[in-house]
Structure 1
Amino acid sequence: MVFRLANRFTASFGMAGALASAMLFMAPAHAQDSPMSLADRVARLEQQAQSQDQNRGNLLNQLQQMQSQMRDMQGQIEELQHQVQQLQDQGKAQYTDLDSRIGRLEKGAGANPAPAASASPDPAGSAAMANAATAPTPAAPAAMMPPAPSAPAESAAQKAAALNAYNTAFKSLRAGDYVSSSRGFREFIQKYPDDALTPNAFYWLGESYYATTNYQVAVEAFRHLLSQYPQSDKAPDAMLKLGYSQLEMKQTDAGTATLKSVLAKYPNANAAKLAQERLRRLSQQPVH
């Protein structure tokens, strides 16, 4: 009896030991799985945080790019506004120039009616003048002799030819054919250096080169006008475009000084308003 109880106790104790051993064996495995899962969760959280930081960085870069594009667009809008204003002023200058030339032509026609009358041929009158020229006339002192009729006719013809050449070059400029207009104004200046329209030709020659971004040659044309014809009506505009050309050539100090000279010399001219506006925009540009 006692022996059987001892065996049962031994068996029970053995089973208990086996269960304890199994529990001890399983406990480290469970303890090992739990910290690994936590580490994986921490790693995932860190990865998510890094991804969020990267997304925020990308959004910040996109925002900065958009701000830069907006600044560029604002500068382009201001430049377009300036070009529109410049075209408007140029149109006004063209009409003013045309009115002045028509006025000069009308004055010339009133002062010299004889050449205008002789523009239409009259065979009978020509024959009478030929007979009168061959008829003997009493001698007269040289000082009392009337001028030869051919001299006024040649002067009028030269003026008409000069005006026609100028108008042809000017039409090319208005049509946007700047190559033809520059060629036409150069030929006009070479052929009619003493004409009343020569200062204007120098200005529009500079405009033709400016429109084709040939700023160095434009500078030469504007400077020649300012040095040779300082009293010309085109002098304020020539100085303004001289400053613009210098700025386009990255000569910022020289261009700024020229625009300030426009304000000092021609404060009441429209060119002074444009110069002041350009100086204002220059002062707002960031310094690189």
Structure 2
Amino acid sequence: MKRLMTGLLLGGLAGTVAAQSSTGPLTVEDRVYPRPQSSAAPARPQGQAQGGTPAVPQEGVMVLMQQMQQYEEELQRLQGMIEELRHELDSSREAERARYVDLDTRINALAEASLDKAPQDDAPAGDGSGNAAASNAENDRAAYSAAREKLLARDFPAAGNAFEQYLKDFPQGQFRPFAHFWLGEIYRSQPSPDRNKAMEQFQTVVDDYPDHSQVPAALYKLATLQAESGDTTRARVTLNRIIKQYEGTSEARLAQGMLDQLK
């Protein structure tokens, strides 16, 4: 009996030794998580497809698709903003053209009114030269009207010569402020604008006829030429003068619009 028990114990001990020699010693992890059988194929690393080619995780594909959609939405938003800005710019240009047309129309109306209301007799009382003064006033009107007709016909060279001749022939002429103003416009509107001469004419209107109706328009033309010449500092000074001295006029509104653009 003892021999039988001893044989069983020795056989069990031999089997345990054989198992350890084939699989190695069992660790705590081996006892809790048994090792896979040697016949099973080794597991593929995560993210690697069969044959050794890396596979893109499904989560990564979704993230890329979401980012592309966000970029497309942002691009559409920016394109919409560009269209709005382009529309605003076109509207501003059209409004500016309309304001210039309105200004020139009013200037023409003022010139016509001045022609109709021109004094007929500038001679001092009691000197016996009433007829000569009346004749001089008529010649004054006729010379200015002839120059202005050339301007309306857009014959700018001929109009410029006519206005310059008018200023020489009538040093006290009643239409001199208008003649200086239109000369400034002619110099400014030439194919090769002479900004210096144009500014001289507008400045003459401002300095020599400070109470004349053409002064606000002459100041605005001055500011425009100053800005076009790159002298934005002087242009701002002139625009602020218009806004302060001629508040509520169309020239003041135009000046404020230009001042906003120069900031």
TM-score tier after normalising by the smaller chain length: 0.5 to 0.7
| 1:229-269 Cα deviation digits (max 9, x unpaired) | 33332111100221122233443322121011113333364
Among 163, 172, 193, which residue is 1:188 paired with?
163
Among 213, 217, 220, which residue is 1:237 paired with?
217
Unpaired runs of at least 5, structure 2: 1-37, 123-127
Q: For the residues of structure 2 that align with 1:215 and 1:263, how far apart are their CA atoms?
A: 27
Q: For the residues of structure 2 that align with 1:58 and 1:211, how far apart are their CA atoms?
A: 48
**Residue 92 of structure 1: SS of its match in structure 2?**
helix
**Residue 85 of structure 2: SS of its match in structure 1?**
helix
Would you say the 8 A contact 1:243–1:254 is kept in 2?
yes
| 1:174-227 Cα deviation digits (max 9, x unpaired) | xxx3xx336513431244332322221221233345456937243333123223
Quote the sequence identity (%): 19
Partner of 1:40: 55
Q: For the residues of structure 2 that align with 1:24 and 1:34, how far apart are their CA atoms?
A: 23
Would you say the 8 A contact 2:180–2:205 is kept in 1?
yes
Q: For the residues of structure 2 that align with 1:34 and 1:189, how far apart are their CA atoms?
A: 90
Partner of 2:71: 57
| Cα 1:259–1:186 shift into 2, 3 Å | farther
Unpaired runs of at least 5, structure 1: 1-22, 113-145
Give the 5 Å matches for 1:1-288: 24=39, 27-28=41-42, 31=44, 35-36=48-49, 39-42=54-57, 46=60, 49-50=63-64, 52-54=66-68, 56-104=70-118, 107-108=119-120, 111=121, 155=136, 158-159=139-140, 161-172=142-153, 177=154, 180-181=155-156, 183-193=158-168, 194=171, 195-211=173-189, 214=193, 216-217=195-196, 218-267=198-247, 269-279=249-259, 281-282=260-261
Would you say the 8 A contact 2:226–2:235 is kept in 1?
yes
TM-score by length of 2: 0.62
**Residue 55 of structure 2: SS of its match in structure 1?**
helix
Deviation (angstroms), 1:161: 4.5
Deviation (angstroms), 1:32: 7.8
Greater Cα shift, 57-66 or 226-235: 57-66
Structure 1 or 2: more helix by fraction = 1
Task: State the number of aligned residues.
Answer: 215
| 1:93-126 Cα deviation digits (max 9, x unpaired) | 211210220221xx42xx59xxxxxxxxxxxxxx
Would you say the 8 A contact 1:215–1:249 is kept in 2?
no
Would you say the 8 A contact 1:259–1:276 is kept in 2?
yes
Deviation (angstroms), 1:57: 2.9
One-letter code of the match for 1:266?
Y
Deviation (angstroms), 1:52: 4.8
Q: For the residues of structure 2 that align with 1:205 and 1:80, how far apart are their CA atoms?
A: 26
Partner of 2:31: none
Would you say the 8 A contact 2:239–2:255 is kept in 1?
yes
| Cα 1:246–1:201 shift into 2, 3 Å | same
